């Protein structure tokens, strides 16, 4: 859709990106306020799940107010006869880039950004939900280094056991692949896999790595500690990442608050190392 067209009384300014059966536009309303608008169109019966995900995304995101979570403002259902054939999700427009597009410049910056992630995801957990798809492309950062977590299409209530495997192959937790209950510690794994990639440029072993359909993770498939790849990574940060990506959820950090505090320890180690070099 080209700029100048209208969708549900909103003027299209540009196309921001594409997803599974969806397109995201920047749009403005009559007052000139600018938003992001996700449009999901049902073209076949198989597309119903994408409609359902968009509705669920709004229902969850609109319930939780937190500065590190993208706001979902309004859900619009478009119908033909009595059937919903299209949904529009009006959301906060974020002026920033994802961590997949631009990695943090320093290890301290990385830790500070991850602390913001733990704050936002912790708010979701407090509200009874799991994000279930944390990854670099779902974490946006603006010029002021403020984090916004996006894409709640796979989010669900804590303890949900999904009928289908949902998640991103290189960041997915074992319990997601096994379709076991998803908990706060699932987000811990997804976040640990995200930090591992940001620190090393490599992906942790998962049960369905991207591009390797049919390959399964064995119990003895272990990731190499980030510090072994890059000695500049402080022990506390390397240890934190490894504890987050444990196969057994009970061996992972129990909460985002725990991860936040361990990130603070990593920052302390980095600061002491920098002061030692300066001295």
Tell me, what's the pLDDT at 110? 98
Q: How many helices (H) and strands (E) does the chain have?
A: 7, 11
Taken in order of first residue, the domains within the chain and their CATH numbers are 6-91 (3.30.200.20), 98-278 (1.10.510.10)
- Give ∠ CA 77-83-89 in degrees, rounded to 5: 20
**Per-residue pLDDT of the chain in tens (279 residues, 90 and over written 9):** 566 688 988 999 999 988 878 999 999 999 999 999 999 998 888 889 899 999 999 999 999 999 999 999 999 998 876 778 899 999 999 999 999 999 999 999 999 999 999 999 999 999 999 999 999 999 999 999 999 999 999 999 999 999 999 999 999 999 999 999 999 999 999 999 999 999 999 999 998 866 554 445 544 467 899 999 999 999 999 999 999 999 999 999 999 999 999 999 999 999 988 777 765
* Whole-angstrom distance, CA of residue 166 vs CA of residue 148: 22
Does residue 117 sit in helix, strand or coil? Answer: helix
* C-alpha torsion sign, points 140, 244, 247, 227: positive
Alpha carbon 262 to its chain centroid, in Å, reads 20
Three-class DSSP labels, 203-249? CCCCCCCCCCCCCCCCCCCCCCCHHHHCCCCCHHHHHHHHHHCCCCH
The pTM score is: 0.90
Tell me, what's the pLDDT at 47? 86
């Amino acid at each position: 859709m080209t700029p100048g067209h209208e969708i549900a009384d909103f003027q299209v300014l540009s196309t921001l990106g594409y997803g599974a059966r969806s397109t995201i536009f920047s749009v403005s309303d009559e007052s000139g306020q600018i938003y992001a608008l996700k449009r999901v169109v049902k073209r076949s019966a198989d597309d119903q799940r994408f409609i359902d995900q968009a509705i669920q995304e709004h229902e969850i995101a609109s319930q939780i107010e937190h500065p590190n979570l993208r706001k979902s403002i309004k859900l619009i259902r478009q119908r033909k006869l009595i059937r919903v054939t299209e949904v529009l999700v009006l959301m906060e427009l974020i002026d920033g880039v994802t961590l997949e597009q631009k990695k943090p410049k320093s290890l301290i910056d990385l830790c500070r950004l991850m602390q913001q992630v733990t704050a936002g995801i912790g708010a979701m957990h407090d509200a009874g939900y799991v994000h279930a798809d944390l990854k670099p492309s779902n974490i946006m950062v603006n010029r002021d280094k403020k984090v916004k977590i996006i894409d709640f299409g796979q989010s669900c209530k804590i303890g949900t056991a999904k009928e289908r495997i949902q998640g991103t192959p290189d960041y997915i937790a074992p319990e997601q692949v096994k379709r076991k209950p998803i908990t706060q510690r699932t987000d811990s794994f997804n976040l640990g896999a995200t930090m591992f990639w940001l620190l090393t440029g490599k992906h942790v072993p998962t049960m369905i790595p991207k591009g390797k359909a049919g390959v399964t993770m064995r119990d003895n498939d272990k990731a190499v500690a980030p510090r072994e790849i890059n000695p500049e990574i402080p022990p506390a940060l390397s240890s934190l990442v490894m504890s987050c990506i444990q196969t057994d959820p009970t061996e992972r950090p129990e909460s985002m608050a725990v991860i936040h505090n361990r990130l603070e320890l990593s920052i302390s180690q980095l600061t002491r190392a920098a002061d030692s070099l300066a001295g």
